Structure 1
């Protein structure tokens, strides 16, 4: 008969997922080090990746930086477009024939 089912609090689960994400160690090794089932840890890691949290493609700090960089990029594109329009106006003004009075 199987033993009593163990419960892990959220802090422990997040810590285990963070270990896998930050150290790059295999799930099996981290699970063995922590004394938990490999499939249990694998499901936590998978769930965190789907949610975009620790162990996912981007961590919280990285996602904030990505959002900041996207805003900055959009602003730079607007500025570039505005400068190009101003340059074109100046080109037209400089290229137009001058009338002599």
Structure 2
């Protein structure tokens, strides 16, 4: 006998897709967290993106000032993400140093 195929409601699929698209999470991460195969969730996300792309009006093209602002904002986001990554590395390093000193390997002797 074959395994029973799971069925998901449209609301469940929409919520999972929202976690990926709006939540900025990867398909793999969300799939792991909700217990759905990565390929299944990937298909849901692709379908949602395709439907969203088809629903845009043809005259919804960006004008020159909007495009310039979009480029500027994307640059700001990229810079902010780089800063965040650097700060996260510094925090991890500080944690390692603190752990190292806490284990008494700091070379300082208490009197």
TM-score (normalised: structure 2): 0.46
Consecutive unaligned residues in structure 2, runs of 5 or more: 64-111
- Aligned to 2:47, the other structure's residue is in SS state helix
> Aligned residue for 1:42?
42
CA shift, 1:23, in A, is 1.5
Question: RMSD over aligned Cα, in angstroms?
Answer: 2.6
Instruction: Pick 1 or 2: higher relative contact order, CA cutoff 8 A, min separation 6.
Output: 1
1:5-29 per-residue CA deviation (whole Å, 9 max, x = no partner) reads 1000000000000010111111001
> Aligned residue for 1:20?
20
> Aligned residue for 2:31?
31
CA shift, 1:2, in A, is 4.7
Consecutive unaligned residues in structure 1, runs of 5 or more: 71-101
- Aligned to 1:23, the other structure's residue is in SS state coil
Paired with 2:11 and 2:23, the residues of 1 have a C-alpha distance of: 18
User: How many residue pairs were aligned?
Assistant: 60
Paired with 1:13 and 1:5, the residues of 2 have a C-alpha distance of: 16
